[in-house]
Amino acid sequence: MKEKDSTANIIAVDYNSPDAETLNDYHLLYNYIESGYREGPANIIAIDEVQMCPGFEKAINWLHNSEKYDIYITGSNAFLLSSNLATLFTGRTMSIEVFPFSFLEYLAYFGSNDSNEAFREYVLIGGMSGSYPYKDPKDRTAYYKEVLNTLIVRDICNKYKIRNRSFLAEQADSVSHGQYC
């Protein structure tokens, strides 16, 4: 963002950081962002894992309605992927869905010239770029298991108020161990 506009005022909040712990309420989030506003330059809001702030939708709507900010929010839970969020922000959003790498994207990322060997690796490693730093297969499997548990067990159970979490956890565990492949 700074490359396109070196004068831009970027107000960033990363809910994965302990620095954001004091912003665990939508009023606090709103006040923090408003206190960072600067008259003149473009004011850009970037919030990662926004779903970790209960009621964030109100703060985002208030900020959007002020027409002073370009707002970018990211998150990884089922609520952000649901139609519920789209309904809340109807006409005020543009979603960018991020998918695992295709084989062609994998080739471009690793710059491989041997497509046969690269395909063998892709079949084993997959397209989730978050797993690429893990060279040990056990670490990579642990990463995939954490992703499955986060998306299925925590996020989906919370969203749909599923009571039998242990059954869903067992299913996610089976998938992460390749039992359905």
CA nearest neighbour of 71 among 80, 81, 59, 84: 59
- Spatial distance between the Cα atoms of 176 and 148, rounded to a whole number of angstroms: 7
Of residues 117 and 181, the one with the higher pLDDT is 117
Task: Return the minimum-mean-pLDDT range out of 17-21, 105-109, 144-148, 165-169.
Answer: 165-169
Task: Give the model's confidence band at 181: pLDDT under 50 very low, under 70 low, under 90 confident, else very high.
Answer: very low
Condensed to tens digits (0 to 9), the pLDDT of residues 32-52 reads 999 999 999 999 999 998 988
pLDDT of residue 46: 96
**What percent of the chain lies above the pLDDT cut of 70?**
81
Q: Hey, what domains does the chain have and what are their CATH numbers?
A: 9-88 (3.40.50.300), 103-176 (no CATH)
Q: In what order do the strands lie in the sheet with 9-14?
A: 9-14, 43-48, 69-73
| pTM of model > 0.85 | no
Q: Both tokens of residue 137?
A: 């297969």
- Spatial distance between the Cα atoms of 100 and 116, rounded to a whole number of angstroms: 20
CA nearest neighbour of 79 among 111, 96, 102, 57: 57
Condensed to tens digits (0 to 9), the pLDDT of residues 51-100 reads 889 999 999 999 999 999 999 988 766 556 555 665 666 666 667 777 89
Find the helix or strand (DSSP H, E) in which 119 lies. helix 115-125
